[in-house]
Amino acid sequence: MTVLSETGVSRWIRRFHPSGGARARLVCLPHAGGSATAYFPFSRAAAEAVPDVEVVAVQYPGRQDRRGEPCFDDVGAMADAIADDLRRWADLPLALFGHSMGATVGYEVARRLEVRGTPPLGLFASACRAPSVHRIEYVHQRDDEGLIAALKELSGTDAGVFGDDELLRMVLPAVRGDYTAVETYRHRPGAEPSCPIQVLTGDRDPVTSLADAGAWHAHSTASTAVEVLPGGHFYLHEQLPRVLAVVAARLAEWRPGNPPG
């Protein structure tokens, strides 16, 4: 899908439901192995639930319409490229929503936007431990069968993909690249974002403990709040109405001219 903004074609951003009356733009970053279309249901529901917020989604290279491009295997390099592309979308105030790996990438994008003098309204960090919480993991070094097993454990991949061996083998390079990026990521000390952070996590998430989620408090000079919802690592699918309610409430607080929460 080719998407046009006012300043031309965007390699990184996909807009499924344009909003002429939007007062803010929510940039959504997918999980490891995910694509922009993972946020299509989110975007469709938000168009009704939060009509003054336009949802756009990041398309990482190495999948779907960018399948011919090499994958990024470094979070910092990916954040650099996304922050560069977001300049053309800054006609509206931007907020960031990242799920799992997307939250880590979103955090690094927020740091870069801050340095450039255009900090986001805020960051929604979903199903992701804080950047400073490091776990030694080697999923990216597994063979293909081990990588597939990891995807099944988290239940974040469309079940139909597992029944289509050709399709599954096609997406594995992107999955491996993403896992390499997130598992080799190390938080670098430096200025933290000045925007508030809203953390969302499932109460049965096998990879993000409540302590890991709470550690996001160290990564903003503004306020940080944690919302715990029923579900596992991909609680987002079942809890979409509640997530959108949190998004709407926080963006109402974060927009210029509104009182802080």
Q: What is the rounded average pLDDT of the residues 100-122?
A: 96
CB atoms within 10 A of CB 245: 14
> What mean pLDDT, rounded, does the chain reach?
88
Residue 4 CA to residue 10 CA, distance in Å, equals 7
Evaluate the CA torsion angle 84, 36, 76, 25 in order and state its sign.
Answer: positive
Catalytic residue list: 100
Q: What angle do CA 174, 135, 243 make, to 5 degrees?
A: 65
pLDDT at 102 over 80: yes
Name which of 35, 14, 12 is nearest 178 in CA terms.
35
The reported pLDDT for the residue numbered 241 is 96
> Across-strand partners of 4?
9
State both tokens at 95: 């907020």
CATH architecture of the domain with range 4-254: 3-Layer(aba) Sandwich (3.40)
Summarised one tens digit per residue, pLDDT across range 59-98 is 999 989 999 999 999 999 999 999 999 999 999 999 999 9
Residue 33 CA to residue 18 CA, distance in Å, equals 25
Summarised one tens digit per residue, pLDDT across range 126-167 is 999 999 998 777 675 677 777 777 777 766 555 444 445 566
